[in-house]
């Protein structure tokens, strides 16, 4: 169970980092969201996975710690608010500039404004 959990966290983190490095704003926002899910799962996993145990029982018995669950719930709410704000900013930027590229010019790096058809300068 723990190995599957670790693989899931790794896949989410790798996918999030990959999407963060793209040049479109929407994929960057999606990458941030996947990365926040990976961090939330990591925090939940650090609180020891306890399946089928009550949250609090008599003294001395094992129980599921409610603090990691509360932290993850808070992280989910904050990530949702961050994602909504980033999407609104991206839509506003798209409306103002007409481009959804992350860079300021709206062109991939290394290309000129005419599409890269100029002769190289000495």
Name the CATH topology of 2-49+64-97. Answer: Helix Hairpins (1.10.287)
% of the chain with per-residue pLDDT over 90: 41
DSSP-assigned letter for residue 38: H
Alpha carbon distance 93, 78 (integer Å): 22
Domain boundaries, the chain: 2-49+64-97
Please name which of 110, 98, 87, 104 lies closest in space to residue 25, comparing C-alpha atoms.
87
Mean of the per-residue pLDDT values of the chain: 81
Residue predicted with more confidence, 104 or 26:
26
Q: Give the residue ranges of DSSP H helices in 1-122.
A: 2-20, 25-46, 66-97
- Residue 100 confidence (pLDDT): 84
User: How many other β-carbons are positioned within 10 Å of the β-carbon of residue 83?
Assistant: 15
pLDDT in tens, 54-83: 666 667 666 667 788 888 899 999 999 999
- Residue 102 confidence (pLDDT): 82
pLDDT in tens, 27-52: 999 999 999 999 999 988 887 766 66
Please name which of 67, 46, 44, 63 lies closest in space to residue 54, comparing C-alpha atoms.
63
- Residue 101 confidence (pLDDT): 85
Q: Return the structure tokens found at 64.
A: 């599921």
- Residue 64 confidence (pLDDT): 67
Residue 105 has pLDDT above 80, yes or no: no
């Amino acid at each position: 169970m723990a190995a599957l959990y670790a693989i899931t966290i790794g896949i989410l983190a790798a996918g999030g980092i990959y999407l963060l490095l793209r040049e479109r704003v929407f994929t960057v926002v999606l990458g941030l969201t996947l990365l926040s899910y990976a961090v939330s799962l990591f925090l939940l996993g650090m609180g020891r996975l306890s399946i089928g145990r009550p949250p609090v029982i008599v003294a001395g018995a094992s129980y599921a710690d409610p603090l990691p669950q509360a932290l993850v719930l808070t992280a989910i709410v904050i990530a949702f608010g961050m994602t909504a704000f980033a999407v609104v900013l991206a839509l506003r930027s798209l409306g103002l500039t007409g481009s959804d590229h992350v860079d300021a010019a709206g062109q991939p790096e290394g290309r000129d404004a005419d599409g890269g058809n100029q002769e190289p300068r000495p």
